[in-house]
A = this chain, B = another copy of it.
């Protein structure tokens, strides 16, 4: 059962253009020219090109990118840092980023920083070491720091999801999205409970741009509806489920009546909120009416009491690549309108049995 598997690592020397040159009775530079496609420019005969190509295939030749990149001006490597992979939003960002990069002949490398500021910086440096031509900082805690590091290395950067002030940014229109989401939840509450009450805002970091814009939209919708925001109900406690759950717990401990409507700042926070709702025993008669600034297919099935705002990932990435492709350098922040997920479509069918769905 001892397999060649590792043996070959020592045995097999990878085929290089020099090996091919020798086999073809020609020079390495001819082989290189043929294999990287500009043999016409270099006036290699079609005959020799053909012969070299065939040989390369036979020998299972594979370009050594490290050598190639070292020599070339541009690496054609594009980097992205991303906070997490545990939700559909970042998942689709990464998946589409990869696809779009590949379409353009770029090699994508991605690093997940788990919202760790130190790791963000380290990851950015690592990517620069690998000679990325461009770096996309997604949801970075300190985008400007990253931009500075890139700029020192002469590398382009673009911010995604969270804006910075040093390089172009592409983000959702958080204010508009939050305004609309809050409006809907307020309207649902009024319809269901017959009275206008201030909503809870939970999740996100109070310091990040997105969260503060969403709070602004939240406030604007309240103002519009003539409802005073209850400041004790604005809980920007961080994104993690546990943080949201704890925030709810301690809120429940210090107020007498719990809100009947909530604005939850991501599916990740919603995870914690839902957990709390199911365990706290305060909503046994009726679920609170929720709005979630984020989308997840199963959340959409949780019931008709949840409204969702879905960030428009395809358009966001189109904008990112337009900046990259065009080489645009002006310091704009592009805001992409998010999508309101209509309940009923993504939402619950009218004729489903009533939740035993939610447990105590």
Contact = CB atoms under 8 A, between A and B. Distances in A.
B357 A284 contact: no
Interface stretch (A47-55, A203-211, A300-308): A300-308
A297 B279 contact: no
Interface of A: 1-6, 8-12, 14, 60, 62-67, 69-70, 75, 84-88, 91-92, 94-95, 98-99, 107-112, 114, 125-126, 128-131, 151-157, 166-167, 241, 267, 271, 274-275, 278-279, 281, 283-287, 296-299, 301-305, 327, 329-331, 343-344, 348-349, 351-353, 355-359
Contacts of A299: 298
B287 A65 contact: no
Contact of A62 (B98, B125, B343): B125
Contacts of A155: 9
A107 B1 CA distance: 30
Nearest to A352: B278
Contacts of A84: 95
Contact of A1 (B11, B66, B287, B331): B331
Given A5-B329, A70-B64, A302 B304 contact: no
Contacts of A343: 359
Contacts of A14: 153-154
A334 B14 CA distance: 31
A303 to B, nearest CB: 4
Given A6-B329, A278-B344, 10 more contacts: A2-B330, A3-B329, A64-B70, A66-B69, A85-B91, A87-B91, A94-B112, A241-B297, A281-B351, A284-B352
B98 A349 contact: no
**8 closest Cβ contacts across the A-B interface?**
A298-B298, A303-B357, A85-B91, A12-B154, A9-B154, A66-B70, A278-B349, A8-B154
A6 B168 CA distance: 12
A126 B157 CA distance: 24
Given A126-B107, A359-B304, A86 B91 contact: yes
A70 B63 CA distance: 12
A298 to B, nearest CB: 4
Max chain B CB contacts within 10 Å: which of A2, A109, A125, A156? A109
B287 A62 contact: no
A36 to B, nearest CB: 12
A139 to B, nearest CB: 14
A114 to B, nearest CB: 7
B278 A2 contact: no
A262 to B, nearest CB: 15
B298 A271 contact: yes
Contacts of A87: 91
Nearest to A332: B1
Contact of A301 (B4, B6, B10, B274): B274
Given A3-B331, A154-B9, A66 B130 contact: yes
B11 A154 contact: yes
A85 B94 contact: yes
A112 B100 CA distance: 12
Given A9-B154, A153-B14, A278-B352, A129 B62 contact: yes
Contacts of A351: 281, 284
Contacts of A5: 151, 156-157, 166-167, 329
A60 B156 contact: no
A301 B285 CA distance: 17
